Amino acid sequence: METAEIRRRWLSFFESKGHSVVPSAPLIYDDPNLLFVNAGMVPFKPYFLGQQTPPWDRATSVQKCVRTGDIEEVGKTSRHGTFFQMNGNFSFGDYFKAGAIEMAWELLTTPQGQGGYGIEPDKLWATVYEDDDEAADLWVQLTGIPKERVVRRGLADNYWHMGVAGPGGPCSEIFVDRGPEYGPDGGPAVDEDRFMEIWNLVFMQSSLSDVRTKVDFDISGDLPKKNIDTGMGLERIASILQGVDNMYEIDEVYPVLEKAAEMTGKRYGAQSGHDAAHSHPDDVRLRVVADHIRSSLMLIGDGVTPGNEGRGYVLRRMLRRAVRSMRLLGFDEPSLPHLLPVSMERMSNSYPELRSGFGRISQIAYAEEEAFRRTLAAGTTILDTAVAKTKAAGGTRLEGSEAFSLHDTYGFPIDLTLEMAAEQGLEVDREGFRTLMQEQRDRAKADAKAKKAGHANTEVWKKLRETGATDFRAYVELTSEANVVGLVRDGDLVDELEPGQRGQVVLDRTPFYAESGGQIADAGIITADGARLKVLDVQRPVKGLIAHTVEVLDGAVRPGAEVIAEVDPEWRISACQAHSGTHVVHAALRQVLGPSALQSGSYNKPGYLRLDFAWGQALSPETRSEIEEVANLAVRKDLPVSAHWMSLPQAREWGALALFGETYDEQVRVVEIGGPWSRELCGGTHVQHSSQINALTVTGESSVGSGVRRLEAFVGMDALRFLAKERALVAELTDLVKVQPGELKDRVAALLVRVKDAERELEKLRQEQVMAQVGKLLDYTRDVRGIRVLTHDAGEGAGADDLRTMALDLRHRMGDSAPTVVALTGVAKGRPVVVVATNAPARERGVKAGALVRVAAQTLGGGGGGKDDLAQGGGTDVTRTGEALGRVDAEVAAAAG
Ligand code: ATP
Ligand code: MG
């Protein structure tokens, strides 16, 4: 039975039992704790947790899942894929244990002719949680399964919870006995390969108050409404119903494996039995290829692009493992273009969007393979050298520094180094590698800190902070009255800053925004009694302390002075526009491209912003316009902008976007625009209403590394100025070609066509002219010791192509009745060219075109060559073409002897 049919029967069976059919959620789901959806229940979590009321009492789905934790199992067990589909039926306070068991049994054992899966009842086993007498009894009562085939197991195997306080309950798993050729008898407790788990029924009945580990938790009571959550591996049941040994041999996976075997000339299964755990390494590799290709296809299909972190890294790792496995199997050419389409053909039965999106999907995958091939080419040689060196010295471990430099210089991921070293029988000093990585990170941090501190010693700043943290007023006012807490110059505390000097000023309170979160520091002025200081930069050298880098314009300032700190209001409004604009563009990006287009960095200053985000390919002009349109509509909607302080978990709950790898304080600030439309953790300054952003115009989109794109935009007045400039340009052009702006494009296109036509016409005329000369030239044929020689300088404008055509034409006209040599020179683009043609009788007398051209070209100060019958050359000295032809004459005479 085909997988697609098993899936169809599943949905229609549960639909006939009153379940609503819910489509699969994408693999990336709005859950910050999950890399990918890994079970059928994930999209239903809010119902099970009581956060939302389910719209149905019963539901069923076939959910796409990815379990990255199973990557090492792939190919080595018969039943673990990185991607798989989980069939599920769910009850929200409706039926419970009896209903779940009864329906599962019915679907599994109803004969195939009657719409079921037709598994013989005596091949089925069930497990229950050891204390769950109720379930054990129900199995025997409702299905007639003998008591001996209902096995009791402990908490580790048969109890389910979410790892946190919340719902929990016992489960009951269903196993199929695949027969003695797969392993020893005795049930699932003895052999999980022979007795394969296909279906897990979870009975959510208790409320857990404290969960310490998988097997250590407190039950605080019964759930008011009991739920059912089940999961059956579609690939696993398919392997049973299709009578194959493992999930890599089912109809949705095997064609890729077969193709890979064909490409590498391997005979799959020739050296292995049924037992996956003892397969030949080549068979395992073929399964890895088939599995990873399919998973990559599904991941890219759902918007994941290869990258160095998080989801992108999982995808990168799978694509690279597939490519590497193909190489180990002996296939060195690009392999994805052969394999990915095969997988798409199979999977698009159930997921038609894979076919329509295949252009995009394949582009991302193939580009990654190309990038990886380059990395491999560079790194493999280095690795091989390092391995050879280690072995020669009698070592068994590759130094951490080698692994680090491979990573640092060639982008070799550590797992690849581990794998490749292992293939050559070496270990890698992982500890050493980790230490070096940490040192590198520390260095980068120290560099960033040094910039923040304006190169002053941290101790200086800590001392200044002893009087208290700076009162940061940037969110509430543009002007503050303040006192000078301390002055720093060249890294040391000083008593005074004088006119013309630069240094740092620390105040007890400031309205200046210190650079952070991509937003640059405010500009403005600090005035004191008789003194004026221009603010050049504002940083936080240590936590809580703000330092203004200033240049003293007039007067002098001393610690203790009363000052007025004033942010340039024009600057600030522009800065706010830029920062709010960045959030708006980010939200617009995600609205248009989907949630995987996540910001990885940003920078904004008055009038300008840029945003780096995860995406595998260039945006089309249409997509760019769409993003711009969505962003400007949000500006026009005048959405309220507000900031809220809350705990980090609460911010997560709000769905606020945070940057990968950043560390945040316990209390975080969430800036939202238009409510949930845009929520980001952010310490920046913002406008109050989106309309104050004024205008946004995207000016560029480019690549900044693999899988990361950069979008740039102008905001506010700068956006208008940018547009005005473009308008002026259009005006100049319309003036130049004398049309209305609307006709400009057509006119330029028409002009280009005319230029092309004119060029072609010119070319034709020149050809004709050249050919017209030819007839006359025949009269100049001379006899040199019995050889007919025709030399001619065609002069300026006659290029190599022209001369060749002419020489061949002349040779043809002169015929083969006597030995003939044609030698022509010309000048094209300021350089002399020479062409020589000989006929067969001439060649028989030893007169060869190649040799003649070499002599002529030498005279011209260059070189050339060709065959005996036709050759060409060129040089640099246009004044010596006559001389060159003379040399040809002399050579012919000499050759004719
Ligand atoms: P196992 O112990 O075999 O890894 P599991 O206990 O992790 O399975 P569950 O979390 O209960 O599995 O998931 C429910 C069902 O999903 C399983 O009964 C199985 O049929 C299927 N399943 C789980 N993991 C995979 C996988 N990596 N590949 C294919 N199917 C899987
Ligand atoms: Mg598992």
* CA–CA distance, 572 with 654 (Å, rounded to integer): 28
* CA–CA distance, 119 with 4 (Å, rounded to integer): 18
pLDDT per residue as tens digits for the range 228-255:
999 999 999 999 999 999 999 999 999 9
* CA–CA distance, 743 with 803 (Å, rounded to integer): 43
- pLDDT at residue 126 in the model: 97
> Hey, what amino acid is at 463?
K
pLDDT per residue as tens digits for the range 436-475:
888 877 877 776 666 555 556 778 888 899 888 999 999 9
Question: Is 420 exposed, middle or buried (CB count within 10 Å of its CB: 0-12, 13-18, 19+)?
Answer: buried
For the cut 90, the answer to whether the pLDDT of residue 834 exceeds it is yes
Could you tell me the maximum CA-CA distance found in the chain, to the nearest angstrom? 119
Residues lining ligand 1, judged by CB closer than 6 Å? 39, 67, 70, 79-81, 84, 86, 197-200, 231-233, 235-236
* CA–CA distance, 370 with 367 (Å, rounded to integer): 5
Alpha helices in 743-784 (DSSP H): 744-777
Rounded alpha-carbon distances, angstroms, from residue 722 to 473, 484, 627, 717: 33, 41, 18, 8
Collapse the DSSP code of 494 into the 3-class scheme (helix H, G, I; strand E, B; otherwise coil) and give the result. strand
Tokens standing for residue 765: 């005329």
* CA–CA distance, 765 with 775 (Å, rounded to integer): 17
The DSSP bridge pattern shows strands 83-92 and 216-233 to be antiparallel
pLDDT per residue as tens digits for the range 478-498:
999 999 999 999 888 999 999
- Cβ proximity of 232 and 87 under 8 Å: yes
Mutational test site, ligand 1, from 61, 66, 200, 291, max ligand atoms within 8 Å of CB: 200
Please give the number of the atom of ligand 1 that sits closest to the Cα of 192.
3
Mutational test site, ligand 1, from 197, 203, 314, max ligand atoms within 8 Å of CB: 197
How remote is the CA of residue 67 from the centroid of ligand 2, in Å?
8
Which residue puts its alpha carbon closest to atom 4 of ligand 1? Answer: 80
Whose atoms come closest to the Cα of 65: which ligand?
1
Q: How many CB atoms lie within 10 A of CB 715?
A: 30
Residue, of 589 and 664, whose pLDDT is higher: 589
Which residue puts its alpha carbon closest to atom 25 of ligand 1? Answer: 80
How remote is the CA of residue 608 from the centroid of ligand 2, in Å?
49
Question: Is 175 exposed, middle or buried (CB count within 10 Å of its CB: 0-12, 13-18, 19+)?
Answer: buried
How remote is the CA of residue 345 from the centroid of ligand 2, in Å?
28
Helix H or strand E encompassing 378: helix 358-392
- pLDDT at residue 448 in the model: 62
How remote is the CA of residue 85 from the centroid of ligand 1, in Å?
10
Most confident among 273-282, 370-379, 629-638, 729-738 (mean pLDDT): 629-638
- pLDDT at residue 455 in the model: 55
* CA–CA distance, 323 with 642 (Å, rounded to integer): 48
DSSP 520: P
* CA–CA distance, 662 with 408 (Å, rounded to integer): 21
Whose atoms come closest to the Cα of 250: which ligand?
1
How remote is the CA of residue 136 from the centroid of ligand 1, in Å?
22
- Cβ proximity of 48 and 202 under 8 Å: no
* CA–CA distance, 269 with 440 (Å, rounded to integer): 46
- pLDDT at residue 15 in the model: 96
SS3 sequence of 309-360: CHHHHHHHHHHHHHHHHHHHCCCCCCCHHHHHHHHHHHHCCCCCHHHHCHHH
Which residue puts its alpha carbon closest to atom 10 of ligand 1? Answer: 39
Question: Nearest Cα to 61, choosing from 7, 106, 114, 102?
Answer: 7
* CA–CA distance, 621 with 661 (Å, rounded to integer): 32
pLDDT per residue as tens digits for the range 620-651:
999 999 999 999 999 999 999 999 999 888 88
Rounded alpha-carbon distances, angstroms, from residue 414 to 176, 300, 322, 759: 39, 23, 17, 57
Which residue puts its alpha carbon closest to atom 30 of ligand 1? Answer: 233
Please give the number of the atom of ligand 1 that sits closest to the Cα of 86.
16
Residue, of 880 and 598, whose pLDDT is higher: 880
For the cut 60, the answer to whether the pLDDT of residue 529 exceeds it is yes
Rounded alpha-carbon distances, angstroms, from residue 835 to 27, 409, 807, 814, 854: 66, 50, 7, 17, 10
pLDDT per residue as tens digits for the range 394-436:
888 999 988 888 887 777 778 788 888 888 888 999 888 888 8
- Cβ proximity of 821 and 885 under 8 Å: no
DSSP 515: S
Tokens standing for residue 653: 């709950």
How remote is the CA of residue 352 from the centroid of ligand 1, in Å?
25
pLDDT per residue as tens digits for the range 674-733:
999 999 999 999 999 999 999 999 998 988 766 788 999 999 999 999 999 999 999 999
Q: Please compute Rg for the chain using Cα positions.
A: 38
Which residue puts its alpha carbon closest to atom 19 of ligand 1? Answer: 233
Q: What is the mean pLDDT of residues 162-182?
A: 92
Please give the number of the atom of ligand 1 that sits closest to the Cα of 197.
18
* CA–CA distance, 582 with 627 (Å, rounded to integer): 12
Mutational test site, ligand 1, from 61, 84, 87, 229, max ligand atoms within 8 Å of CB: 84
pTM above 0.85, yes or no: no
Q: How many CB atoms lie within 10 A of CB 562?
A: 10
How remote is the CA of residue 163 from the centroid of ligand 1, in Å?
17
Which residue reads 């991941």 in tokens?
299
For the cut 70, the answer to whether the pLDDT of residue 61 exceeds it is yes
Whose atoms come closest to the Cα of 38: which ligand?
1
> Hey, what amino acid is at 803?
L
- Cβ proximity of 836 and 810 under 8 Å: no
Please give the number of the atom of ligand 1 that sits closest to the Cα of 199.
18
Whose atoms come closest to the Cα of 79: which ligand?
1
Q: Which residues contact 469 (CB under 8 A, 6 or more apart)?
A: 543, 544, 545
- pLDDT at residue 190 in the model: 85
Q: Which of 29-38, 533-542, 595-604 is the least confident region?
A: 29-38
Question: Nearest Cα to 657, choosing from 169, 191, 30, 192?
Answer: 30
- Vertex 734, ends 731 and 740: CA angle to 5°? 105
- Cβ proximity of 205 and 67 under 8 Å: no
Tokens standing for residue 356: 């329509």
For the cut 90, the answer to whether the pLDDT of residue 508 exceeds it is yes
Question: Is 438 exposed, middle or buried (CB count within 10 Å of its CB: 0-12, 13-18, 19+)?
Answer: exposed
Average pLDDT across the chain, whole number: 90
How remote is the CA of residue 69 from the centroid of ligand 1, in Å?
11
How remote is the CA of residue 197 from the centroid of ligand 1, in Å?
7
Question: Nearest Cα to 868, choosing from 891, 887, 843, 889?
Answer: 843
The DSSP bridge pattern shows strands 562-567 and 524-528 to be antiparallel
Q: At what angle do helices 281-301 and 358-392 cross, to 10 degrees?
A: 140
Which residue puts its alpha carbon closest to atom 14 of ligand 1? Answer: 231
- pLDDT at residue 880 in the model: 92
- pLDDT at residue 451 in the model: 56
Question: Nearest Cα to 714, choosing from 696, 740, 732?
Answer: 696
How remote is the CA of residue 110 from the centroid of ligand 2, in Å?
28
How remote is the CA of residue 266 from the centroid of ligand 1, in Å?
30
Question: How does 112-123 read in b/e, with b if 16+ C-beta sit within 10 Å?
Answer: eeeeebebeeeb
Residue spans of beta strands (DSSP E) within 571-718 = 599-605, 608-614, 641-647, 667-673, 678-681, 696-703, 708-715
Which residue reads 């290029």 in tokens?
799
* CA–CA distance, 23 with 44 (Å, rounded to integer): 12
For the cut 50, the answer to whether the pLDDT of residue 660 exceeds it is no
Q: What is the mean pLDDT of residues 767-771?
A: 74
Question: Is 731 exposed, middle or buried (CB count within 10 Å of its CB: 0-12, 13-18, 19+)?
Answer: exposed
Q: Backbone dihedral region of 115: left (phi > 0), alpha (psi from -120 to 50 degrees) or beta?
A: left
Rounded alpha-carbon distances, angstroms, from residue 330 to 264, 334, 338, 422, 604: 6, 12, 15, 18, 50
Collapse the DSSP code of 5 into the 3-class scheme (helix H, G, I; strand E, B; otherwise coil) and give the result. helix
Give pairs for 663-672: CB < 8 Å, separation 24+: 669/643, 669/644, 669/645, 670/643, 670/644, 670/645, 670/646, 671/583, 671/641, 671/642, 671/643, 672/641, 672/642, 672/643, 672/644
Q: What is the mean pLDDT of residues 153-157?
A: 92
- Cβ proximity of 253 and 236 under 8 Å: no
Rounded alpha-carbon distances, angstroms, from residue 682 to 448, 518, 521, 609: 19, 10, 15, 15
How remote is the CA of residue 233 from the centroid of ligand 1, in Å?
6
- Cβ proximity of 826 and 858 under 8 Å: no
Which residue reads 């699969």 in tokens?
24
Please give the number of the atom of ligand 1 that sits closest to the Cα of 233.
20
CA-CA-CA-CA torsion for 807, 809, 814, 820, nearest 10 degrees? 20
The proportion of the chain whose per-residue pLDDT surpasses 90, expressed as a percent, equals 65
For the cut 90, the answer to whether the pLDDT of residue 6 exceeds it is yes
Helix H or strand E encompassing 461: helix 458-465
Mutational test site, ligand 1, from 80, 160, 192, 235, max ligand atoms within 8 Å of CB: 80
How remote is the CA of residue 70 from the centroid of ligand 2, in Å?
7
